[in-house]
Structure 1
Amino acid sequence: MLAGVAHAADPLTVGVLIPGSKSDKGWMESGYDGLAAAQKAYGDKIKVQMIENINYADMEQALVNLASKNQLVIGVGGQTQAAVTKVAKRFPKTKFSIVGGNKGDTVPNVAGYDVKQAEIAFVAGATAAMLSKTGVVSYVGGMEIPSIVNAGKEFGKGAAYVNPKIKYVENYTGDFDNVAKSKEATLAAIAQGADIHYHILNLGLRGMEQAAKEKNTRIIGSYTDRCGTDPLYPAYSITGVGYQVEYAIKEAQSGNWKAGYKPFGLAMGPKASDMVICGATPDMKAKIDAIKKDIESGKIKVLEG
């Protein structure tokens, strides 16, 4: 070995659990995009192991696999929280970050990043009311867990905030990935007059898309701004799932990672949370900006989630 040759520090080893599909056009894909961005930014300074498409029953074992081999483990989705909390206690030297984590059990090596979906769902509801021609809007959620239900409630409240006469149709499929159930729920809402739809689904979004295309209605997309790529989507809510994956890796890589609950949402800026109406009129943009400001100030109060 030559004297004076500096050796690069060992890379940060990162394990990422993406319970759904990394190409779902939603939460999971946004998380994967954040991981890809971190890999591009850090190159050989990080080494990544990823597991995707894991059933709820197999989540714990997948996390044990990741925790035994990595310094940082990221669970992409609130549905990973119970398993992460359990596994983290067995691996006290491993850091765990939950993207979509709430104020759950406090574990000294777990960070929960709250995307505050209910907050941006209120803004999405306001947007839906502005875009609707029929005066009826709808929401389809996957699992009926508090964060998903709270987002649905706030979507309805946001729509009523803009149009007190709006009709709001709300459905849950019990499964983020079931295409047939999501299509059925969306068709049921369309039968009641809904022409703008919002969702918290993963692969189940495919069913909503099928229904909307068949019946000529439209969808407010989630997680990533893809304006101009598909006329089915007149607007997008930005929920920074990928941003939080990047954040967890950046903090661990720089030695600044901290355990505990951390809220993101509108207060963390447009990469964390935002609403984009494709081709918005100045009036629409002004209304949305005012609503976001009132949520941040607490003038408009929204549920957790």
Structure 2
Amino acid sequence: MTTIKTLMGAAATLALTAGLAAADAHSSPGLIIDLGGKFDKSFNESAYNGAQRWVEETGGEYAETELANEAQREQTMRRMAERGANPVVVLGFANGSTLDVVAPDYPDTDFVIVDMVVDQPNVKSIVFSEHEGSYLVGMMAAMASETGTVSFVGGMDVPIISKFACGYAQGAKAVNPEMNVIVNMTGTTPTAWNDPVKGAELTKSQISQGSDVVFAAAGGTGIGVLQAAADADILSIGVDSNQNYLHPGEVLTSMIKRVDNAVYDAFTAAAAGELETGISVMGLSNDGVGFALDENNEALVTPEMIAAVEDAKAKIIAGEIVVHDFLSDNTCPAY
């Protein structure tokens, strides 16, 4: 089912199964939310929050669809385009190959994909420097660790998640070259994004191996990681959205990935007729990634940590520190 989100949609959502008449009339944007659900407290929810912020600030409207399974990818993109949504914003790297096929069939529709590059003239590709943000939280993990072992739980075992893990390991070992970094992935299918029970099991196993700080980059699975860490009274690190609030005083920080800004900016640019296709990279230099500091974790983050990561951030932006990007060669020098 596709829904229309408007300013009144916070109180009542108008569900349309026959078409997107309101969206068609105004060439409103469309948002296709990836597997795992829009309230995953992570990647998808960040995107949804960006769209809602745009609605609240502009009074605009947009069409929204959540994918329920892999088979819906192509059909959903085509339906959104045929019903007049423009641009069509697609979330997640797994949509890349499908969009590469679909976009040429709708040359008058602009598409935006978050987390993947699709080389088509009517596609804007937004990617993030996750390895840079992960480097910073890896430094914080190493500085907070008392055991000399930190860990990482990824969702689906795909290169982009290894990009998080590798950046994290590099940051931890920049603080202490002897730091032990345990890396586990949840699975090899999309169900790995929404398996909090498995996430908790992996976390418990890592704790048994000495980890006292765990970073989750696993979508909804990460909720189980953070819960298991809190239950064991060790520190965790959230991802994408600011997840510090989930376990106040137990979440060291969150590696924020501003998917919300990516969606908000795409909607805003399109409404102004200024959406530019091509590749856009969101990293430390333009606040595309970073770490979260608020009332929920301020007691955990020492002045020394802040000074160290701010110094590293400046050096990464200046090119004085180069964080290896796993996607460049599918290797990680920190393992």
Common fold by TM > 0.5: yes
Q: Does residue 295 in structure 1 map to residue 312 in structure 2?
A: no
Q: C-alpha separation between the residues in 1 aligned to 2:112 and 2:245?
A: 33
Identify the match of residue 276 of structure 1 among 292, 310, 320: 292
Give runs of aligned pairs for residues 11-90 of structure 1, distance below 5 A.
Answer: 11-19=26-34, 20-43=36-59, 46-69=60-83, 70-90=85-105
Counterpart residue type for residue 37 of structure 2? S
Q: Does residue 237 in structure 1 map to residue 242 in structure 2?
A: no
Deviations 1:9-62 (A, max 9, x none): x5341111111212111111111110100111121xx33111124322321111
Q: C-alpha separation between the residues in 2 aligned to 1:293 and 1:205?
A: 29
Deviations 1:231-274 (A, max 9, x none): 231212221010100011111111111111111111113xx222
Counterpart residue type for residue 113 of structure 2? I
Q: C-alpha separation between the residues in 2 aligned to 1:254 and 1:48?
A: 15
2:33, 2:64 within 8 Å by CA — same for their partners in 1? yes
Aligned-partner SS, 2:108: coil
Identify the match of residue 282 of structure 2 among 234, 241, 264: 264
Identify the match of residue 157 of structure 1 among 170, 173, 177: 170
Q: Which residue of 2 aligns with 1:204?
A: 221
Counterpart residue type for residue 23 of structure 1? F
2:46, 2:241 within 8 Å by CA — same for their partners in 1? yes
Aligned-partner SS, 1:61: helix
Deviations 1:144-200 (A, max 9, x none): 222111221111111000111211000111221122322222122111111111121
What is the CA distance between 1:304 and its match in structure 2? 5.8
Aligned-partner SS, 1:113: strand
1:176, 1:200 within 8 Å by CA — same for their partners in 2? no
Q: C-alpha separation between the residues in 1 aligned to 2:243 and 2:155?
A: 22
Normalising by structure 1, we get a TM-score of: 0.89
Gaps of 5+ in 1: 1-9
Q: Which residue of 1 aligns with 2:180?
A: 167
Q: Which residue of 1 aligns with 2:3?
A: none
Percent identical: 29
CA RMSD of aligned residues (A): 1.7
Q: Does residue 91 in structure 1 map to residue 106 in structure 2?
A: yes
Aligned-partner SS, 1:173: strand
Runs (4+) of structure 1 moved beyond 2 Å? 223-232
Q: C-alpha separation between the residues in 2 aligned to 1:18 and 1:88?
A: 17
Gaps of 5+ in 2: 1-24, 328-335
Q: C-alpha separation between the residues in 1 aligned to 2:52 and 2:247?
A: 23
Q: C-alpha separation between the residues in 2 aligned to 1:229 and 1:52?
A: 24
1:111, 1:260 within 8 Å by CA — same for their partners in 2? yes
Q: Which moved more, 1:210-219 or 1:284-293?
A: 210-219
Q: 1:154 to 1:245 in 2, by over 3 A?
A: same
Counterpart residue type for residue 174 of structure 2? Y
Aligned-partner SS, 2:262: helix
Q: Which residue of 2 aligns with 1:4?
A: none
Q: Which moved more, 1:206-215 or 1:188-197?
A: 206-215
Q: C-alpha separation between the residues in 2 aligned to 1:190 and 1:35?
A: 37
1:138, 1:194 within 8 Å by CA — same for their partners in 2? yes
Normalising by structure 2, we get a TM-score of: 0.82
Q: Which residue of 2 aligns with 1:191?
A: 208
